[in-house]
């Protein structure tokens, strides 16, 4: 949960977001005692695994930046975290990244079993749409697009397809890298911001500004993630480090090297911050969150 | 595609439903040439695998029984088939039923690979919600509940949990069997009927009648499925026969035996037909479909 040198105000904001998100998630999920108990236990195991709740925090900050009410945006906070958790569970599966650790604990398929992990992910996706439905059709469409083959799943597939392919600085490699990062990470980060705006009944111009802010902040975040995988330890990350290089993944670091990757992260951070100007409410938190997403140590 | 001795009028209806469903599915899915091409090819491989389109046919028949327009219900036809196809892909995975054949062709993970099959299923679920969104929030909620841990995924988990457990005629076995069948099959069959009603702006009483019709027809259908797995050949089924007994699955046949299973299927068929009385439009096709779901040879 700690970030590198977070400002006290941002730490307080993140703690507030965790509290609101956890309450919304608790309400969204069936109790662990309900049939089938093993499935509901697995869903809760992964959802309540001590995640940073970055996406719910972005929903909350975006809602406030559009002068929305916190209560109105909590279903969106639950929706994005349920969706995100499902993608992590499936991403960790043996047929995918084959990870044993997630947030310092056994991954879902290690703590339970592979079939239960697949189903827990499947059920969390459905639950995410049920939460989004509380905000109306525009929210369902926004989440649907981010969750689709044109969003996060498309990015995952490109990521897998790129494994073992030659990595160079060619235009083809760079274009593929861009598609991977936009899909895998930026799509859901961006959707989180837009959902916050939707819950605040923001104008279409404001929603578009939030979308672009999220897109750039998401790209900066994923570059920072690639950098961390290449430079941090497993203990620092709470998951297996150095797996990208080991698996021959197409990352910013692999294509551009450490220095250019750092410069690209800063570049996208600047573009994200520039999008915040037109929003009517306070955008300080969104700005601080974007900075955090780049300057973090895990 | 052939059913046992289908009435000519029902054959014509099913052919019509296939045409409408396939057109809606074609529109709902990204082209196979769009990035990532492997993912979109896998999604299309499984969606266009010569399925009977039973769930879309139920949507169409339910819509007509409520005097709805065919055009208005096509997004729901796409939504239920996309959702159904995703559950089949995941159900066939090595960690689940580990099936090599589906509708007489290699399963998705055999034709592509396991990771692609997981992601194709994931993306099809998101696409199903995007299609349902065209019908409004009530449709999204209906699909979401059927797709959730309280619907089809809950039934799958109970099915897996029951494997290898002692099978007897005890109250516990019977209750679990009921939950498996309601979740695995009846939830989506029932949701298909309700979605047809929603697209026709049916009254809440009519939606409730459609829900109960679908519930009973779905249970009858699953019992017929259990019977077929126990009595038909792989060639007849287009998938591996006899797997239920081999895997120690909790089925109607295992708990009640062949004769009582047949009687139960007829019992639920009668209850389904009795629900059709209050609907204002023609219910002949819904009645004929329910009979087919019981009297089929694959």
In this predicted model, what pLDDT tens digit does every residue of A126-184 receive, in sequence order? 999 999 999 999 999 999 999 999 999 999 999 999 887 888 888 888 899 999 999 99
CATH number among 1.10.3720.10, 1.10.600.10, 3.40.50.1820, 3.40.50.2300, domain B8-294: 1.10.600.10
Burial of A111 (0-12, 13-18, 19+ CB in 10 A): middle
Nearest to B35 among A147, A156, A179 (CB): A179
Q: Verify whether the Cβ–Cβ distance B125 to A125 is below 8 Å.
A: yes
- pLDDT at residue number A104: 87
pLDDT band at A2 (very low <50, low <70, confident <90, very high): very low
| pLDDT of A275 strictly over 60 | yes
For B184, the token pair is 């695995």
* Contact call for B140 and A147, based on CB within 8 A: no
Taking a C-beta distance cutoff of 8 angstroms, is the pair B209, B62 a contact? Answer: no
CA–CA separation, B207 and B107 (whole Å)? 35
- pLDDT, tens digit (0-9, with 9 covering 90-100), for B208-229: 999 999 999 999 999 999 999 8
What one-character-per-residue DSSP string does chain B give?
Answer: ---SS--HHHHHHHHHHHHHHHHHHHHHSPPTTSSSHHHHHHHHHHHTS----HHHHHHHHHHHHTT--HHHHHHHHHHHHHHHHHHHHHHTSTTTT--SEETTEE-HHHHS-HHHHHHHHHHHHHHHHHHHHTT-HHHHHHHHHHHSTTTHHHHHHHHHHHTTS---SSHHHHHHHHHHHIIIIIHHHHHHHHHHHHHTT--HHHHHHHHHHHHHHHHHHHHHHHHHHHHS-HHHHTS-TTHHHHTT---HHHHHHHHHHHHHHHHHHHHHHHTTTT-SS--HHHHHHHHHHHS---
Mean pLDDT of A71-89: 98
Q: What's residue B115's pLDDT?
A: 98
| Residue B217: closest CA among B156, B176, B262, B275 | B275
Give the tens place of pLDDT for each residue, B229-257: 888 777 777 767 777 888 788 888 888 89
Give the pLDDT band (50/70/90) at residue A6: low
Question: Smallest Cβ distance to A137: which of B39, B96, B136?
Answer: B136
Q: Which residues lie across from A101 on neighbouring strands?
A: A106
Assess whether pLDDT exceeds 90 at residue A297: no
The pTM score is 0.95
Residue A298: per-residue pLDDT: 60
What are the tens digits of pLDDT across the range B161-187?
Answer: 988 788 888 888 889 999 999 999 999
User: Which residue ranges make up each domain of chain A?
Assistant: 8-294
How confident is the model over A96-112, as pLDDT tens digits? 999 999 988 999 999 99
Strands A101-102 and A105-106: antiparallel
Closest residue to B90, CB basis, from A118, A151, A160:
A118
Contacts with A118 from chain B: Cβ below 8 Å = 90, 93, 95-96, 118
On whether any CB of chain A is under 8 Å from the CB of B175, the answer is no
Chain B residues inside the 8 Å CB shell of A95: 113-115, 118
Per-residue pLDDT, averaged over A197-201, amounts to 98
Task: Write out pLDDT tens, residues A226-238.
Answer: 999 888 777 777 7
pLDDT of residue A1: 33
Q: Give the distance from residue B280's alpha carbon to the nearest chain A alpha carbon, in angstroms.
A: 29
d(CA B96, CA B182): 19
Q: What is the distance in angstroms between the Cα of A205 and the nearest Cα belonging to chain B?
A: 23
pLDDT of A3 strictly over 90: no
Residue A175: burial class (beta carbons within 10 Å; 0-12, 13-18, 19+): exposed
Question: Chain A contact for B8, CB < 8 A?
Answer: no
> What is the pLDDT averaged over residues A262-282?
95
For residue A30, the chain B residues in CB contact (below 8 A) are 149-150
Enumerate residues 21 to 40 of chain B having a beta carbon within 8 A of any beta carbon in chain A.
Answer: 30, 35-36, 38-40
The predicted structure's pLDDT at residue A4: 46
* Residue ranges in chain B modelled with pLDDT below 70: 1-7, 239, 297-298
- pLDDT above 80 (res A241): no
Q: Is A133 on the interface with B (CB under 8 A)?
A: yes
Q: Both tokens of residue A182?
A: 């936009």
Question: With contacts defined as CB-CB under 8 Å, which chain A residues touch B153?
Answer: 39, 119, 122-123, 126
Predicted pLDDT of residue A183? 95
pLDDT on residue A290: 97
Sequence-distant (6+) residues with CB within 8 A of A248 are A163, A164, A165, A167
Q: Do B161 and A36 touch (CB under 8 A)?
A: yes
Confidence label for A202 from pLDDT (cuts 50, 70 and 90): very high
Name the phi and psi angles at A223, rounded to 5. Answer: -65, -40
- Amino acid B163: pLDDT: 84
């Amino acid at each position: 949960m700690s970030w590198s040198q977070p400002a006290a105000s941002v730490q307080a904001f993140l703690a507030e977001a965790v509290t609101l998100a956890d309450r919304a998630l608790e309400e969204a999920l069936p109790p662990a005692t309900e049939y089938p108990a093993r499935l509901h236990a697995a869903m809760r195991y992964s959802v309540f695994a001590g995640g940073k709740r970055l996406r719910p925090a972005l929903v909350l900050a975006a809602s406030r930046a559009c002068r929305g009410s916190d209560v109105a945006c909590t279903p969106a906070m639950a929706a994005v975290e349920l969706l995100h958790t499902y993608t992590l569970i499936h991403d960790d599966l043996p047929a995918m990244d084959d990870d044993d650790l997630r947030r310092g604990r056994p991954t879902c398929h290690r703590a339970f079993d592979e079939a239960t992990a697949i189903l827990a992910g499947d059920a969390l996706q459905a639950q995410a749409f049920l939460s989004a439905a509380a905000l109306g059709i525009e929210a369902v469409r926004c989440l649907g697009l981010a969750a689709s083959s044109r969003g996060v799943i498309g990015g995952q597939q490109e990521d897998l397809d790129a494994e073992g392919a030659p990595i160079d600085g060619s235009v083809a490699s760079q274009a593929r890298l861009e598609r991977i990062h936009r899909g895998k990470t930026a799509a859901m980060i961006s959707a989180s911001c837009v959902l916050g705006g939707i819950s605040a009944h923001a104008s279409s111009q404001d929603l578009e500004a939030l979308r672009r802010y999220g897109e750039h902040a998401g790209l900066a975040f994923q570059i920072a993630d690639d950098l961390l995988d290449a430079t941090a330890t497993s203990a620092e990350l709470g998951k297996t480090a150095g797996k990208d290089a080991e698996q021959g993944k197409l990352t910013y670091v692999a294509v551009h090297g450490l220095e250019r990757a750092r410069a690209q992260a800063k570049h996208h951070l600047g573009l994200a911050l520039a999008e915040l100007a037109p929003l009517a409410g306070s955008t300080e938190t969104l700005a601080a969150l974007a900075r955090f997403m780049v300057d973090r140590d895990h």
